[in-house]
Amino acid sequence: MQPTPESRRRKDATGNLLLNRVMRLVRAGRPYLAADKPFYVRMDRACGGDFAQLWFLTRGCTWDHGGACTMCNYGHARSVPEDSMVESVRQGLERVPRGVDELYVSPSGSLLDPVEVPHRARRLIYELVASFPCSKFSLETRAETVTPEAVDELVAAMGARRVAVGMGLESSSPWILRFCINKKGHPTNFEAASQLLRGRGVGVYANVSLGPAFLTTSEAIDDACQTVQWALNHGADMALVFPMHVKGHTLLAWLHQRGLYRPPSLWSLVEVLARIEPEFLPRVTISWYRNDYGDGPQVVVSPSTCPRCRPRVLESLDRFRENPTSSAVAHLVAQECECKDAWRTEMEEAPERALPERVLDQYEQLARAFNLMDWWSARDEEIRAEVLGLDAPHVRPADWQAPPAQWTRDRHTLAH
Ligand code: SF4
Ligand SMILES: [Zn+2]
């Protein structure tokens, strides 16, 4: 039977049944975040301005509780009273320099999700932010929480202040979202939310992942590049590329422990930047490429290079984050090291089998390791058909014949 649009929508909203189960088991026993550290403030420079990030403690992302997102451990907590959330933001703001260029406020998931941040708390947080002197206010939320009412409330609360909303797109490939990341929904949800936000004068940031589970180095780079391009053409004002860290109690950590996953090299991040058309660069930034998560959930291993070149690569990445220009990219691309040669070799390695077949092998391993073989055997055929894209055109990788990896040193010359 052909799937209907409604059955596809339901399927996308449910997520990946195997990964939902595995992720709930992977997250079982995860310690709660410390209630005595209910917020942090992180300052850095981005796009020529001072950027303040204020995180505050909530119960955690609603989707995290259901088993979504194989890379994520944004943390969870016992129930957090509304007043504590508001108090965290109030105290956090006392540590943010007045007049900062951009203030980014984020809970452990979505500010617009009423299950995570109840409506009254959100309204009081808006009041605190509205009276704080900064040029721009931005927040993070899932695309599905962006409703006309929520956007109207945000716009009304912020008055003339510039506002932007960041959403975790992760990948523009519905197939990768579903079978590698297990991010529920569909990229079209991001597009719809972007239209809604832009229609009311709110800016849109797209969070783009580099290095989802199961992908080779080259596939991960291709996916991040295609996603940046897709996001900028489908409503995002800015694309933020995040190289994935391996955090405790995630599928990435489980795979990493067994030699089945490594976080992306920082050279892969450089390659993504090098492949972006120069005219798009001012609309691209990079985030969390340093391992400075502070007191948050434990990071097992981070994107890196070798210790010899790491400081200068990080410094050059900072330079790009501060000023995203072709010459900053050229400076990155011009860096050489022996570890870069090894990364090039790895990037050129072609896997023996196609991605869907490799994913199915790993699914079976996961089912075995997590004592889900009875469950797997009952659904094996259905899941195989889905992963191989036989019965669900919406999950086929769009144009999976990605352009061959190429070194694009000459696209960005130091003369720019
Ligand atoms: S990546 Fe975002 S949507 Fe997914 S579990 Fe983490 S916080 Fe939730
Ligand atoms: Zn090196």
**Range of lowest pLDDT (83-97, 136-150, 400-414):** 400-414
Substitution site in 57, 71, 72, 209 for ligand 1 pocket (most atoms within 8 Å of beta carbon): 72
Q: What pLDDT shows up at residue 398?
A: 52
Per-residue pLDDT for 258 more than 90?
yes
Q: Which bound ligand lies closest to the C-alpha atom of 72?
A: 1
Mean pLDDT computed over 3-19: 83
| Vertex 142 angle, CA 93 and 103, to 5° | 20
- Listed by start position, the domains of the chain span 31-351+395-415, 352-394
Atom 3, ligand 1: residue with shortest CA distance: 63
Q: What pLDDT shows up at residue 412?
A: 43
Mean pLDDT computed over 278-300: 83
Q: Is 291 helix (H, G, I), strand (E, B) or coil?
A: coil
For the stretch 29-50, pLDDT in tens is 899 999 999 999 999 998 889 9
Residue 410 confidence class, pLDDT cut points 50, 70, 90: very low
Question: Which residues have C-beta atoms less than 6 Å from ligand 1?
Answer: 61, 63-64, 68-69, 72, 74, 109, 142, 168, 183
Q: What pLDDT shows up at residue 47?
A: 87
Report CA(53)–ligand 2 centroid distance (Å): 30
Mean pLDDT computed over 137-143: 98
What does the DSSP 8-state code read for residue 108? S
**Range of lowest pLDDT (2-6, 42-46, 86-90):** 2-6
Per-residue pLDDT for 404 more than 50?
no
For the stretch 115-128, pLDDT in tens is 999 999 999 999 99
Atom 4, ligand 1: residue with shortest CA distance: 69
Residues near ion ligand 2 (CB < 5 Å) are 305-306, 308-309, 337, 339
The architecture in CATH of the region 31-351+395-415 reads: Alpha-Beta Barrel (3.20)
Q: Which helix (H) or strand (E) holds 203?
A: strand 203-210
For the stretch 167-204, pLDDT in tens is 999 999 999 999 999 999 899 999 999 999 999 999 99
pTM: 0.93
Residue 403 confidence class, pLDDT cut points 50, 70, 90: very low
Residues whose CB is less than 8 angstroms from the CB of residue 130 and which lie 6 or more positions away in sequence, other chains included: 157, 158, 159, 161
Q: What pLDDT shows up at residue 293?
A: 58
Residues whose CB is less than 8 angstroms from the CB of residue 411 and which lie 6 or more positions away in sequence, other chains included: 274, 275, 278
Per-residue pLDDT for 414 more than 80?
no
Report CA(317)–ligand 2 centroid distance (Å): 14
For the stretch 210-245, pLDDT in tens is 999 999 999 999 999 999 999 999 999 999 999 999
Cβ neighbours around 371 below 10 Å, total: 9
Q: Which residues pair with 41 in a beta bridge?
A: 54
What's the gap between Cα 228 and its chain centre?
Answer: 12
Q: What pLDDT shows up at residue 409?
A: 38
